[in-house]
Amino acid sequence: GDVPNTTEISYENTYAEGVEVSTHDVACELSVNGASYGCEFTFELTSDPVSDWSAVQSWLGDIVKAAARTDGSSSEALAKAVDVAIATARSEAKPDANGETPEWASENLKLKTIRVSTPFYPELSVGKNGDATERLQRRLIELGFLEGEADGYYGPQTEAAVKALEGYVRELEQDLIDERPTPTPEPEVTPEPTEHPVVMLPFKYTLSLRPRGARAQEAEDTAAPAAEATQEPVVYAPVTRQDGVADGLLQAYIFSDAYRSARKDLSSGDSGDAVLRLQRRLTAEGCSTDAADGSYGSNTARAVRIFQRYNGLEQTGVADVETQSLLFSGDAKAPDNPMLASGASGANVERLQKRLYELGFSTIGADGEFGAGTKAGVEALQTYLRDREEAKLRAEEPGIAEDADLSDRLSTVVNGVADPILLDEFYSDEFPAVPEMLKDGSTGDDVERLQRRLYALDYFYDATDGAYGAQTAKAVADFQKRNKLAETGVANQTTMQLLFSGDARKALKPYEIRVSTEGQRVYAYAPDENEEYTRLVRTMKCSTGKNSTPTPKGTYKSTTGPGERWHYFKKFTCWAQYTYSIQGDILFHSVLYGSKGGAVTRSSVNNLGRKASHGCVRLSVEDAKWLFENCPKNTTVVVY
């Protein structure tokens, strides 16, 4: 019933000698009661051309629709019903108020052929653009043969996808051939001739009719007669042509329940076109962001587990036939949280960044852009979860060797991609947001999380090494003081509940530094009672960059902090004291020295208050020392 069939009715129209006859084709496609029909009509004209073929097409559409509702059981029944309906409508046509007869009823317009196909799928190839092509593309995307969006344009990509589909159908045909039982011959008995199975391909009925009123000829069955049985061996081979043309039979097959979307199970180590289709579909369903390469590796297995999780299947990471059949169907369900990776942006990224920041996996704020910092935060989270997964596995199986590689048994992949399973776990109430109590001597991932969170809040500046030492304890005590907790330096539950939350207060820097390149002054502001930097506490004369080598303007924080006590400028063969980084090689520093520990150069002292440097900001020795000793790392510096 899914195989397209076509019925054609031809009319033998006769004309007087010398009459010029032209032809015109009209086609319509419609769906009635869930069945699709394609009706094509050829008309012969013997005089003036029809002025409005759209009116003729609309009339034919109404004829076909009415006939299909009652006689749409087959293409033959519908073709005959349309034939009768057209003849009836033309014979009963009446002139309108102006005495004009509809053009479709004119004697100068005669039917040459009626061709009805059902189910109807117009043959599609390069250049055949429109709704039918868009419908085909949507199905090709669903089946993993085409990437991107369905745009209704049958171009090279669609052609290549159809060729890939045709190649797959040929593989299915070969499977059927290979599954045929091979009879074991009996050498002493001459086998009787046997009939071979007949494959029913699309068929066509042709009814040739004489002019109206004449005796109709019997229908001519054009089906090819069955071949006579022969003792010659029959060679079976796939019959689908791999030409990039989507004919009606191919389309009917992929839209039918008979279509087999998978030939065999796929798992790690497999490769080829079947894996390529699987990967394309996993990406389209939001289970992967990797480019489809046809190689079934750990990321593909992870993507399969993601799909299985959200579609109620056992999470094996193996794309068995059941998994593939659901994946390549309209019933496939996408994950709740979309896959996020480098280059992504928007509210979902901002939500992830905020949680990574609050729970100690990232030190950057939330800006909605998935860049290198967010990727590093996701990798830190994945490493944390992977280590916990491995620790749990070792606890369950004490006999595992200490140096045993368990990577093949761990489901978490450290790749910087926030996949749906990872996000589900990260956003759940069960996620270990607050570690156990940590104190001097504690080590491990939770200490590293603690240090990273303290760093993000400007309390901790050492390396996040996972070792709870004196500097970590001091940072915890500073956090406790700032947040009105008991200053113990021990990260107890109360401290960490607040630390790993959106209510944690950042360290209040003692000063904010502002540099006026116009006024050649550096100003230090302290916070007021509202914790805003409005109280001017120190004004310092400076030398910023010359016009040819200006000090770059902007607001700097993540790059600022004390540097070297003495610094040698190799390019200029001079020294300076108390360097403090602004950004890169742009520094605050003292006036210049010809040698370390020697005398200052009078020119650099005399130039204070004027633009004189190569981009750095020079200060008096006293002012440079004050900045060096009183402004901790990540103090905000504004150059304007």
pLDDT tens digit sequence for 22-57: 999 998 888 877 778 889 999 999 987 788 898 899
Give CA separation, 149 vs 123, 292, 402, 415, in Å: 21, 16, 50, 27
pLDDT tens digit sequence for 575-591: 999 999 999 999 999 99
pLDDT tens digit sequence for 106-157: 888 999 999 998 888 888 999 999 988 999 999 999 999 999 999 999 999 9
Using omega within 30 degrees of 0 as the cis cutoff, is the peptide bond preceding 338 cis?
Answer: no
Q: In what order do the strands lie in the sheet with 574-577?
A: 566-569, 574-577, 592-593
Residue 594's CB is within 10 A of a number of other CB atoms, namely 11
For residue 222, what pLDDT is reported? 42
Contacts of residues 167-173 at CB distance under 8 Å and 24 or more positions apart, as own/partner, are: 167/242, 167/273, 168/273, 168/277, 169/238, 169/240, 169/250, 169/253, 170/238, 170/240, 170/242, 171/238, 171/263, 172/260, 172/263, 173/238, 173/239, 173/240
- Which residues lie below 8 Å from residue 257, measured CB to CB, with a gap of 6+? 2
Report the DSSP pairing between strands 512-516 and 637-639: parallel
In 68-101, which positions are buried (b, 16+ CB within 10 angstroms) versus exposed (e)? Answer: beebbeebbbbbbbbbebbeebbeeeeeeeeeee
d(CA 8, CA 76): 8
Task: Kindly tell me the burial class for residue 630, based on how many C-beta atoms sit within 10 Å of its own C-beta (0-12, 13-18, 19 or more).
Answer: middle
d(CA 124, CA 141): 16
d(CA 597, CA 604): 16
Of 287, 542, 589, 631, which residue is the catalytic one?
Answer: 589
Asked if the model's pLDDT at residue 216 lies above 80, the reply is no
Closest CA to 542 of 599, 597, 604, 633: 604
Asked if the model's pLDDT at residue 208 lies above 70, the reply is no
Active site residue 589: yes
Q: Across the chain, what does the average pLDDT equal?
A: 89
pLDDT tens digit sequence for 380-414: 999 999 999 998 999 999 889 888 888 888 888 89
Asked if the model's pLDDT at residue 608 lies above 60, the reply is yes
Closest CA to 64 of 114, 24, 109: 114
Give CA separation, 362 vs 419, 420, 432, in Å: 17, 19, 16
Give CA separation, 38 vs 152, 503, 612, in Å: 19, 66, 84
d(CA 500, CA 482): 15
Active site residue 631: no
Asked if the model's pLDDT at residue 358 lies above 90, the reply is yes
Asked if the model's pLDDT at residue 231 lies above 70, the reply is no
Closest CA to 118 of 246, 240, 27, 30: 30
Residue 532's CB is within 10 A of a number of other CB atoms, namely 10
For residue 596, what pLDDT is reported? 96
d(CA 637, CA 533): 12
Amino acid type, 154: Y
pLDDT tens digit sequence for 626-639: 999 999 989 999 99
- Which residues lie below 8 Å from residue 308, measured CB to CB, with a gap of 6+? 314, 315, 316, 317, 323
Of 39, 542, 616, 631, which residue is the catalytic one?
Answer: 616
In the chain, pLDDT over 90 holds for what percent of residues?
69
Asked if the model's pLDDT at residue 309 lies above 90, the reply is yes
User: Can you read off the two tokens belonging to residue 422?
Assistant: 């990872």
User: What confidence tier does 213 reach under pLDDT thresholds 50, 70, 90?
Assistant: very low
In 382-403, which positions are buried (b, 16+ CB within 10 angstroms) versus exposed (e)? Answer: bebbbeeebeeeeeeeeeeeee
Asked if the model's pLDDT at residue 203 lies above 80, the reply is no
| CB-based contact 261:249 (threshold 8 Å) | no
Q: What is the pTM of this model?
A: 0.59
User: Can you read off the two tokens belonging to residue 613?
Assistant: 């440097």
d(CA 627, CA 640): 18
| CB-based contact 123:244 (threshold 8 Å) | no
User: Can you read off the two tokens belonging to residue 35?
Assistant: 């069945």
Asked if the model's pLDDT at residue 191 lies above 70, the reply is no
The conformation of residue 51, written as its DSSP 8-state character, comes to S
Longest CA–CA span in the chain (Å) reads: 125
d(CA 449, CA 478): 17
DSSP 125-164: -TT--SHHHHHHHHHHHHTTS--S---S---HHHHHHHHH
| Helix, strand, coil share (%) of the chain residues, nearest 5 | 30, 20, 50
